[in-house]
């Protein structure tokens, strides 16, 4: 890559640039009491074999939006104890993981006691490793039966989602440390901001039409491809109902909401920042204010915008394997935005980088955490740093070609190999210093 690393480090901020590594270490101070250190992962992307999900159908048919199939993924459905052992051994005290609706309610109205028992064993094992489980109830995927009847475009979707959340928390809530309803509830709003969306629409329509034909369901709907004008208000009502249902079952269980919170910067008129924030977040900020005990920040990069839309990264910018700009400074900016906009305790529930150069992953983590320290010094209540992801896992339509993991996973043997970045973040977590 033509960009010199010295130049990249300048972008970390003038306050940090003149300092040696030793001097930066001296500036670290204890994290707030109860601070959560750890990593995050989703069920579908790591478990493998989720054959009853809408995503499984769409990745295993043609035409498809997926570069490859998830298959066995990381086989975490069977190897979760090894994953928890790695995370606990690194010195983490929290693990963000998901449960799969498609496994828990494989057909409408039928809840699998065997699968609920499986997830109970998982959470018990997680806790036994000294990890507080932060559980995501929905991470982009739904049961196939739910997608066939219209997904989150169906008017009665909120009631069905709330029923699933209630049943799950009735069985598993006593083992959860915290929970969230939707992962990145505004994901469809993000998709519509991305460059190239219009060009992809024909392929998306073809894939959805093929899924509808394969399932003999003209109402087939998958969240990733649904109309945000339709699904956003329905999902917001689903979150509110789920929040109330969970609180009815376990009043003391913290229930949060996570959004994709990329740092929006204007290339010209500063008023454009608010315009694009509105497009990215819609009404979700108001939902978080009224129906969330905490707010999850999930930040990876920045978007530079002008009157025409989101601009490409600046010339010469370092790009990650996910295709966006290497910009760890974004995290501090989105934390500040979330604190001002939502006014709830802030948890960093995802932050990470896709790269095969682990030195750059370490640099990303260090620069992101320097931003967390700046926020703490400014009085922002930040309560966690959870890196995405513990493992190299299935990254949706991109397949397995974008390694975010602190731990590499052999695609044939499933052998887990922690990278130096895993030990690096683990040392920080053990010291509990930011």
**With contact defined as beta carbons under 8 Å apart, do 41 and 393 qualify?**
yes
Indicate if the pLDDT at residue 24 is higher than 80: no
pLDDT at 17: 38
Active site residues: 184
Stretch 265-290: mean pLDDT: 97
Rounded mean pLDDT of the chain? 94
* Residues composing the chain: 434
pLDDT at 195: 85
Q: List the structure tokens of 1.
A: 């890559």
Concatenated DSSP letters for 366-411? HHHHHHHHHHHHTT--EEEEEEE-SB----GGGTTSS---SEEE-T
Angle among Cα 48, 50, 52 to the nearest 5 degrees reads: 170
Convert the pLDDT of each residue in 378-428 to its tens digit. 999 999 999 999 999 999 999 999 999 999 999 999 999 999 999 999 999
Q: List the structure tokens of 6.
A: 């010295």
Convert the pLDDT of each residue in 322-364 to its tens digit. 999 999 999 999 999 999 999 999 999 999 999 999 999 999 9
Give φ, ψ of 394 to 5 degrees: -75, 110
Indicate if the pLDDT at residue 3 is higher than 60: no
* pLDDT over 90 percentage in the chain: 91
- Confidence band (pLDDT; 50, 70, 90) for 27? confident
pLDDT at 11: 34
Instruction: Give the lowest-confidence range in 14-23, 149-158, 211-220.
Output: 14-23
Indicate if the pLDDT at residue 15 is higher than 80: no
Stretch 187-210: mean pLDDT: 91
What's the Rg (C-alpha) of the chain? 21
Q: Give the residue extent of every domain in the chain.
A: 5-431
Indicate if the pLDDT at residue 59 is higher than 60: yes
Indicate if the pLDDT at residue 165 is higher than 80: yes
pLDDT at 317: 97
Stretch 59-74: mean pLDDT: 94
Q: List the structure tokens of 228.
A: 């945000």
- Confidence band (pLDDT; 50, 70, 90) for 25? low
Indicate if the pLDDT at residue 7 is higher than 80: no
The CA distance from 141 to 156, in Å, is 18
Indicate if the pLDDT at residue 103 is higher than 70: yes
Residue with tokens 């069977």: 78
Residue with tokens 């001296």: 26
Indicate if the pLDDT at residue 57 is higher than 50: yes
pLDDT at 124: 98
Q: Where are the beta strands (DSSP E) in 14-105?
A: 36-40, 94-98
Indicate if the pLDDT at residue 16 is higher than 70: no
Instruction: Give the lowest-confidence range in 60-69, 242-251, 377-386.
Output: 60-69
Q: Three-class SS of residue 75? A: coil
Task: Fold for 5-431, please state it.
Answer: TIM Barrel (3.20.20)
């Amino acid at each position: 890559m033509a960009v010199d690393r010295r130049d990249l480090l300048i972008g970390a901020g003038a306050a940090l640039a003149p300092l040696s590594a030793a001097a930066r270490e001296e500036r670290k101070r204890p994290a707030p009491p109860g601070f959560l250190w750890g990593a995050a992962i989703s069920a579908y992307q790591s478990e493998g074999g989720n054959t009853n999900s809408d995503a499984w159908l769409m990745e295993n048919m043609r035409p498809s939006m997926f570069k490859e199939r998830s298959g066995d993924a990381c086989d975490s459905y069977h190897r979760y104890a090894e994953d928890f052992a790695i995370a606990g051994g690194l010195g983490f005290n929290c693990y963000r993981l998901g449960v799969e609706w498609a496994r828990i309610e494989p057909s409408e109205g039928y809840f699998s006691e065997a699968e609920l028992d499986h997830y109970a064993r998982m959470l018990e094992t997680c806790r036994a490793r000294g990890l507080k489980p932060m559980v995501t109830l929905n991470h982009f995927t739904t049961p196939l039966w739910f997608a066939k009847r219209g997904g989150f475009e169906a008017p009665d979707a909120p009631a069905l989602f709330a029923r699933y959340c209630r049943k799950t928390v009735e069985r598993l809530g006593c083992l959860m440390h915290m929970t969230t309803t939707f992962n990145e509830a505004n994901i469809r709003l993000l998709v519509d901001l991305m460059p190239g969306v219009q060009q992809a629409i024909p392929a998306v329509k073809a894939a959805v039409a093929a899924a509808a034909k394969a399932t003999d369901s003209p109402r087939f709907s998958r969240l990733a491809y649904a109309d945000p004008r339709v699904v956003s208000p329905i999902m917001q009502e689903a979150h509110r109902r789920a929040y109330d249902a969970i609180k009815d079952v376990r009043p003391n269980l913290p229930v949060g909401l996570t959004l994709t919170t990329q740092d929006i910067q204007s290339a010209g008129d500063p008023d454009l920042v608010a315009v694009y924030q509105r497009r990215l977040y819609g009404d979700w900020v108001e939902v978080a204010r009224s129906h969330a005990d905490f707010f999850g920040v999930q930040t990876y990069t920045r978007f530079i915008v002008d009157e025409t839309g989101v601009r490409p990264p600046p010339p010469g910018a370092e790009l990650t394997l996910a295709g966006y700009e290497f910009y760890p400074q974004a995290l501090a900016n989105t934390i500040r935005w979330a604190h001002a906009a939502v006014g709830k305790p802030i948890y960093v529930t995802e932050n990470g980088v896709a790269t095969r150069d682990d030195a750059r992953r370490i640099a990303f983590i260090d620069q992101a955490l320097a931003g967390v320290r700046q926020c703490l010094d400014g009085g922002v209540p930040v309560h966690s740093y959870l890196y995405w992801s513990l493992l190299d896992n299935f990254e949706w339509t991109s397949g397995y070609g974008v390694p975010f993991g602190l731990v590499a996973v052999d695609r044939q043997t499933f052998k887990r190999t922690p990278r130096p970045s895993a030990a690096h973040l683990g040392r920080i977590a053990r010291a509990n210093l930011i």
